[in-house]
């Protein structure tokens, strides 16, 4: 065959097609000899990110056996990719994510049980107990604490002083009264209003659930087997607080987590219940805020536990598993927990760190003192569906006057029961 | 009038050397024939991998109870039967139809008006065309985030200004009555530039002589539009209407970012529901079935629209 320019051209074009087709397939490289690479995914994109990176760098430079290769992405992208990644065998060796998701992922068999690791590690007793228990599923533990915090009551000191409130409220009744007193609602132009207590109803930790739990109710019971959504305590709590929002305008309706943060940052919310991650942003915005434990209900004082835990992939090799465990141990060591807490304002995962050691960051002192908290939707394999199809829409419907709390919550409770099966 | 037809002369064609006549001629013709396909090959391979294969796979999955990970069973048409009685599907379908019914005609009409206006020799015409087209070029999710902030009832500037002059805006994008309105408005704002550019291209094909002839005959601008412009851009109009409908049926990006289908599913469209069922509730089989139902709906609508416009097509 004569090698004409035409046939060369044709060959070139056909060859060009191959890399494009092959680029669709990915090949995972593994290096033999040298440190084992441990892939680590998490969603700490905001002000916590530099501190996470610092601890990872500290680990990588402290030893030569393992290298952490960390990928940080926004939480919604993270959760979209995690399960498909596990399913394709491309999941990360180590993943740090919210404990609420652990029952679902554990039930699909993608995570390695950590009971042996916890039993064999001398420091596991020093970790916050509720964070350790948060990743239990079907009798086994599938995670190790990474960052655990209770929500607390942020309050704007200036606005409280202006209204003559000398101390932050200690009970839910006091909270209700204070919220009404602090609210200055402008009917004509709501943007001019100042709200007593900003309560988000979606895309945030559920304050509504914490209130129900404090009064002896909740969405589900602690082992996720029974719905408490139609209990009289739950219904009364929601009725009382939605009335306060609807009639006394203590909070805007349809607030998301981000909008709630914005409101408090803008000085338009006198009080706000949120976790430690927001503290840095509020400080930077120049808000002079105080932190108090979430007020006590009729039955107990409780807050929302927001726990992010480490999960080890069930597909990890022994070498990778050892590396993941080494990093977990390192992360939860006293030195690194001080880096974490002081850098982010978070509470450390260890209960044996004293307030003096945390004195540099008063936020982390405050958050480490708040120890009584519980998960909002514990032990639920389908927690996302229950949250997005029942809890959030029901609260929103009540707030928008689409029915009474009693009717909607009774209906919602039936949906929860059918979803739990 | 006599017409002269010229016939290609036999002697005009180049004669191959007699000893190679049959084979060489055949090879030359077929090689030339295949070159376009070699150029198409890379695109076809990519489309095959990233469009056709997922479509086939999702059709297969729609007959299973797949949940992304783990084993799945073949369950026949159970997913399809289920979606007919699923209130979430009914709600999403109604929301999507409302969205399409408003977004499509408004964006097409607005685009046509803008195209006609910007077809004349105005001073800053290029600037206006660029500015109106610009929203189509930016990532939709990012501009939707910007809109979400601007329409926020507490800190959004649009709500603040409108309320200050006495216009009630409800609870912004959190208001059950208003959320769909805002979402449709942002969707129209995003696409109008693209349709306007298409209409501009169509308007360029209308011969100027027809306008001159019609104004000599005493036609008003409106009559010119109705009798000259409108019939001659019918192809463009058909294309824009079909594309606008498809875009409206696929409304997702800005809804996901601005309202996430809320409040309580008031703005949940079909694609939002497919996403939620597939990626949040891990019901891939069910989500695949819903997406194929959406394909059939959009396909039927496009066929109807194409048939309607072809009937009314005008050729000169």
**pLDDT value at residue A190:** 81
CA gap A335, A3 in Å, rounded: 69
For residue A3, how many other CB atoms are within 10 A of its CB?
8
In the predicted model, is pLDDT for residue B240 greater than 90? yes
Q: Which of B31, B46, B163 sits opposite A20 (nearest CB)?
A: B46
**pLDDT value at residue A26:** 44
Domains of chain B, each with CATH number or no CATH: 23-61 (no CATH), 86-311 (1.10.3720.10)
Gap between the terminal Cα atoms of chain B:
22
- Chain A residues inside the 8 Å CB shell of B146: none
- Chain A residues inside the 8 Å CB shell of B262: 202, 254, 392-393, 396
Backbone angles phi, psi at A149, to 5 degrees: -150, 150
What's the per-residue H, E or C state across chain A? CCCCHHHHHHHHHHHHHHHHHHCCCCCCCCCCCCCEEEEEEECCCCCCHHHHHHHHHHHHHHCCCEEEEEEECCHHHHHHHHHHHHHCCCCCCEEEEEHHHHHHHHHCCCECCCHHHHHHCHHHHHECHHHHHCCEECCEECCEEEEEEECEEEEEHHHHHHCCCCCCCCEHHHHHHHHHHHCECCCCCHHHCEEEEECCCECCCCHHHHHHHHCCCCCECCCCCCECCCCHHHHHHHHHHHHHHHHHCCCCCCCEHHHHHHHHHCCCEEEEEECHHHHHHHHHCCCCEEEECCCECCCCCCCEEEEEEEEEECCCCHHHHHHHHHHHHHHCCHHHHHHHHHHHCCCCCECCCCCHHHCCCHHHHHHHHCCCCECCCCCCCCHHHHHHHHHHHHHHHHHCCCCCHHHHHHHHHHHHHHHHC
Q: Report which of A203, A102, A99 is spatially closest to residue A147, judged by C-alpha positions.
A: A99
Q: Which residue of A has its CA nearest to B280?
A: A384
Contact A14 B41 (CB under 8 A): yes
User: Number of A:B CB contacts under 8 A?
Assistant: 104
Question: What is the mean pLDDT of the segment spanning B143-170?
Answer: 87
CB B267 within 8 A of CB B247: no
- Chain A residues inside the 8 Å CB shell of B45: 17, 20-21
Domain A36-149+306-368 has CATH 2.40.50.1070: no
- Chain A residues inside the 8 Å CB shell of B70: 87, 108-109
- Long-range CB pairs of B87-90, under 8 A, 24+ apart, other chains included: B88/B265, B88/B268, B88/B273, B89/B270, B89/B273, B89/B290
CB B240 within 8 A of CB B195: yes
Q: Which residue of B has its CA nearest to A261?
A: B155
B271-298 CB burial, b ≥16 within 10 A, e <16: bbbbbbbbbbbbbbbbbbbbbbbbeebb
In the predicted model, is pLDDT for residue B22 greater than 70? no
CB A207 within 8 A of CB A273: yes
- Chain A residues inside the 8 Å CB shell of B154: 190-191, 193, 252, 255, 259, 262-263, 268
Q: Does A257 touch chain B if contact means CB atoms closer than 8 Å?
A: no
Contact A16 B159 (CB under 8 A): no
Residue ranges covered by each domain of chain A: 36-149+306-368, 152-303+382-420
* pLDDT tens, residue order, chain A (421 aa): 455 666 666 666 666 656 555 544 444 444 456 889 999 999 999 888 999 999 999 999 999 999 999 999 999 889 989 999 998 899 999 999 999 999 999 999 999 999 999 999 998 899 999 999 999 999 999 999 999 889 999 999 999 999 999 999 999 999 999 999 999 998 878 888 999 999 999 989 999 999 999 999 999 999 889 999 999 999 999 999 999 999 999 999 989 998 899 999 999 999 999 999 899 889 999 999 999 999 999 999 999 999 999 999 999 999 999 999 999 999 999 999 999 999 999 999 999 999 899 999 999 999 998 888 999 999 999 899 999 999 999 999 999 999 999 999 999 999 999 998 7
Q: Which of B41, B42, B163 sits opposite A191 (nearest CB)?
A: B163
CB A118 within 8 A of CB A132: yes
Q: What CATH superfamily classification does A152-303+382-420 receive?
A: Periplasmic binding protein-like II (3.40.190.10)
Q: Which of B42, B49, B263 sits opposite A254 (nearest CB)?
A: B263
Question: What are B84's two structure tokens?
Answer: 């007919």
Q: Which of B69, B159, B175 sits opposite A191 (nearest CB)?
A: B159
Range with the lowest mean pLDDT among A121-135, B2-16, B185-199?
Answer: B2-16
Q: Does A340 touch chain B if contact means CB atoms closer than 8 Å?
A: no
Pick the residue with more confidence: B10 or A206? A206
B157-191 CB burial, b ≥16 within 10 A, e <16: ebbbeebeeeeebbbbbbbbebbbebbbbbbbbbb
Question: What are A98's two structure tokens?
Answer: 């919210």
User: Measured between CA atoms, how close is A310 to chain B, in angstroms?
Assistant: 20
Question: What are A390's two structure tokens?
Answer: 């029942």
In the predicted model, is pLDDT for residue B100 greater than 70? yes
The label of the residue with tokens 């409101």 reads A263
Mean model confidence pLDDT for chain B: 88
Is the bond preceding residue B90 a cis peptide, omega within 30 degrees?
no
Q: Report which of A294, A312, A291, A311 is spatially closest to residue A303, judged by C-alpha positions.
A: A294
**pLDDT value at residue A340:** 94
**pLDDT value at residue A25:** 47
Question: What are B70's two structure tokens?
Answer: 């783990």
What is this structure's pTM? 0.85
CA gap B195, B127 in Å, rounded: 17
Best mutation target among A201, A242, A254, A255 (most B Cβ atoms within 10 Å) is: A254
Contact B155 A21 (CB under 8 A): no
Contact B264 A400 (CB under 8 A): yes
**ipTM (interface predicted TM):** 0.84
**pLDDT value at residue B48:** 94
CA gap A182, B250 in Å, rounded: 45
Asked if A36-149+306-368 and A152-303+382-420 have one fold, the answer is yes
**pLDDT value at residue B18:** 56
């Amino acid at each position: 065959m004569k090698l004409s320019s035409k046939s060369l051209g044709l060959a070139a074009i056909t060859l060009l097609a191959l890399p494009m087709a092959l680029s669709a397939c990915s090949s995972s490289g593994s290096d033999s000899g040298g440190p084992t690479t441990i892939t680590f995914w998490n969603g700490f994109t905001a002000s916590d990110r530099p501190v996470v990176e610092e601890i990872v760098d500290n680990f990588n430079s402290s030893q030569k056996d393992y290298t952490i290769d960390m990928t940080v992405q926004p939480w919604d992208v993270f959760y979209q990719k995690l399960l498909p990644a596990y399913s394709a065998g491309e999941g990360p060796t180590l993943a740090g994510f919210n404990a609420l998701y652990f029952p679902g992922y554990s039930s699909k068999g993608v995570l390695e049980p950590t009971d042996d690791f916890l039993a064999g590690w001398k420091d596991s007793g020093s970790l916050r107990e509720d964070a350790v228990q948060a990743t239990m599923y079907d009798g086994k533990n599938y995670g190790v604490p990474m960052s655990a915090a209770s929500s607390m009551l942020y309050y704007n000191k200036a606005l409280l002083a202006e209204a003559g409130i000398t101390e932050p409220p200690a009970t839910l009744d006091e909270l209700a009264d204070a919220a009404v007193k602090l609210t200055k609602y402008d009917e004509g132009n709501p943007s001019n209003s100042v709200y007593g207590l900003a309560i988000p109803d979606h895309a945030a930790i559920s304050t509504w659930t914490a209130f129900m739990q404090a009064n002896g109710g909740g969405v589900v019971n602690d082992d996720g087997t029974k719905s408490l959504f139609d209990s009289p305590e739950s219904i009364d709590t929601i009725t009382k607080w939605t009335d306060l929002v609807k009639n006394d305008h203590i909070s805007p309706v349809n607030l998301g987590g981000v909008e709630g943060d914005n409101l408090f940052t803008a000085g338009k919310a006198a009080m706000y219940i949120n976790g430690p991650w927001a503290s840095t942003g509020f400080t930077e915005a120049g808000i002079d805020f105080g932190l108090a434990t979430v007020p006590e209900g009729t039955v107990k004082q409780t807050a929302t536990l927001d726990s992010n835990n480490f999960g080890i992939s069930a597909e990890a090799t022994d070498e990778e598993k050892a590396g993941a465990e080494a990093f977990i141990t390192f992360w939860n060591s006293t030195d690194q927990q001080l880096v974490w807490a002081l850098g982010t304002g978070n509470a450390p995962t260890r209960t044996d760190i004293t307030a003096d050691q945390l004195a540099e960051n008063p936020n982390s002192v405050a958050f480490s003192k708040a120890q009584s908290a519980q998960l909002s939707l514990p032990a639920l394999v389908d927690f996302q569906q229950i949250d997005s199809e029942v809890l959030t829409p029901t609260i929103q419907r009540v707030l928008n006057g689409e029915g009474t709390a009693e009717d909607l919550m009774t209906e919602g409770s039936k949906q929860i029961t059918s979803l739990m099966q | 009038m006599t017409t002269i037809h010229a016939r290609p002369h036999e002697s005009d064609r180049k004669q191959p050397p007699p000893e190679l006549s049959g084979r060489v001629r055949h090879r030359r013709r077929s090689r030339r024939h295949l070159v376009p396909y070699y150029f198409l090959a890379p695109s076809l391979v990519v489309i095959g991998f990233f469009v056709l294969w997922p479509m086939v796979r999702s059709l297969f999955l729609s007959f299973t109870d797949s949940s992304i990970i783990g084993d799945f069973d073949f369950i026949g048409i159970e997913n399809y039967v289920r979606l007919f009685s699923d209130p979430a599907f009914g709600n999403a379908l109604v929301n999507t139809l409302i969205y399409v019914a408003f977004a499509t005609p408004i964006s097409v009409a607005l685009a046509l008006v803008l195209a006609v206006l910007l077809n004349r020799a105005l001073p800053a015409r290029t600037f206006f065309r660029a500015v109106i087209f610009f929203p189509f070029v930016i990532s939709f999710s990012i501009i939707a985030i910007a809109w979400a902030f601007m329409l926020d009832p507490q800190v959004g500037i649009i709500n603040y200004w409108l309320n200050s002059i006495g216009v009630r805006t409800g609870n912004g994008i959190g208001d059950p009555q208003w959320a769909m309105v805002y979402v449709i408005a942002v969707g129209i704002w995003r696409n109008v530039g693209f349709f306007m550019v298409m209409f501009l291209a169509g308007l360029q094909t209308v011969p100027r002589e027809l306008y001159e002839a019609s104004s000599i005959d005493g036609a008003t601008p409106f009559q010119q539009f109705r009798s000259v412009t409108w019939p001659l851009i019918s192809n463009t109009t058909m294309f824009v209407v079909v594309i606008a409908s498809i875009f409206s049926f696929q409304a997702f990006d800005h809804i996901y970012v601005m309202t996430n289908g809320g409040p309580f599913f008031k703005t949940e469209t079909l694609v939002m529901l497919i996403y939620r069922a597939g990626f949040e509730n891990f019901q891939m089989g069910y989500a695949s079935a819903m997406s194929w139902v959406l394909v059939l709906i959009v396909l039927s609508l496009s066929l109807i629209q194409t048939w309607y416009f072809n009937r009314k097509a005008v050729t000169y």
